[in-house]
Amino acid sequence: MKFLCKTSNLLQGLNLVSRAISGQQALPILGNVKIDVEGKRCTLSATDLELSIITSFDADIENEGSITVPAKAILNFAQYNSDKEVLLETSEGAQLKCTSSSAKTIIAGEAASEYPTISHIEKETVFSLEAEPLIDALHMVTFASAKTTLRPVLAGVYVHSEQGKLIFVSTDSYRLSEYKIPTETVGANVSCIIPAKVLEELKSILSSNRNTVNIALSNQQIEITIGDTKLLSRLIDGKFPDYKQIIPPNTKTTVAINTKNLATIVKRMHYFAKETNNNLTFTIRKSDNTIHITTPHTQAGRDEATLDIELTGDENKIALSSSYLLDFLGHVDNDVVEMHLTDSMHPAVFHEPSNKNLLHLIMPLRIQE
């Protein structure tokens, strides 16, 4: 194997595929990147056996071939090499010689035949999405998924099609995010649970690559293609909770609040609230159109604040987690956020006034006086 390529292309490709390498590999070779050169393209790939990332770029190829090398070693070479081009060639078996005008590095690798095979899926359902609405959906949904795999389905995002919309839903059973993308390209038969970590990687790739996203599904796998890059992953097996039954059908109170002001106050009050399960009590007062926010009395002290609001409906009261509320507010780009309440026993439902595709729900806590 011998080929010449731009250092910037090599570095960009390595940065992409190395995101599939986990900190704890079941096999040492999973810490490697596989390099394949054929025709006029260099293809890089990496996998942790759950998520695989493959990308390719143009190269001037003298001899075709393949090898795997430690990701950290070749990333180190590409990252700290200021030369525009680099010549990569295998030598003495499984060694990769990296040569540029000012550098010569030899990296000990392993034969490509030892690397796990990354199989492309049997495509049963295929559709495409524009990058911008997908980025919005991922931004507002993935953070609400469970961070542990005790209940695997909650560590994923439920994606399903319904009446001309593709709907993304995540929950950790204490909060829930739903985002709807209007689309004509998706059929009525999409229903799967995608690992949240896969969609986080997709979000990262889309931050610098706004190409149309092509998605292929089989019974157990998903393949996502953005330009020259592919993500392949297993789907999560299981049944997602019937989340619609916990969304209150009617609300008695709608409150419009300045997002920045609310976030600033909740950040301040979180210092005390974290002493009591992050408990904050919100009292909506009709007499002066305000929301009064209080923390319970703790050994550290207590805090309270009042904010002006636009109120529609009745007075109300609810206790919510300051931590979950801050998580949500940190993802809101709108100047105003709406909170819809039924009573202290039902979840608080949040919307952005200008974005009817978003619904965020936070389960209530017991009110502590």
- Half-sphere exposure (CA, 13 Å, Cβ side) for 270? 14
pLDDT at residue 120 tops 90: no
Specify the 3-state DSSP secondary structure of 299: coil
Specify the 3-state DSSP secondary structure of 17: helix
The percent helix, strand, coil of the chain (3-state, each to 5) is 25, 45, 30
Specify the 3-state DSSP secondary structure of 332: coil
Q: What is the pLDDT of residue 114?
A: 93
Query: Could you report the per-residue pLDDT of 52-96, keeping only the tens digit for each?
Result: 999 999 999 999 999 999 999 999 999 999 999 999 999 877 999
Note the pTM of the prediction, 2 decimals.
Answer: 0.93
Q: Which of 158, 109, 152, 162 is nearest to 137 (CA)?
A: 158
End-to-end Cα separation, the chain, in angstroms: 72
Q: What is the pLDDT of residue 129?
A: 94
Q: Which strands make up the sheet holding 165-171, listed edge to edge?
A: 191-195, 156-162, 165-171, 175-182, 355-362, 348-352, 336-341, 253-258, 310-313
* Number of other residues whose CB lies within 10 A of the CB of residue 227: 14
The percentage of the chain sitting over the pLDDT mark of 70, rounded to a whole number, equals: 100
Q: Which domains can be identified in the chain, with CATH numbers?
A: 2-114 (3.10.150.10), 125-243 (3.10.150.10), 247-362 (3.10.150.10)
Q: What is the pLDDT of residue 92?
A: 79
**Could you give the angle at the alpha carbon of 314 between the alpha carbons of 312 and 317, nearest 5°?**
110
Over residues 254-263, mean pLDDT: 98
Query: Could you report the per-residue pLDDT of 171-217, keeping only the tens digit for each?
Result: 999 999 999 999 987 877 899 999 999 999 999 999 888 889 999 99
pLDDT at residue 263 tops 90: yes
Helices (H) and strands (E) in the chain, counts: 6, 26
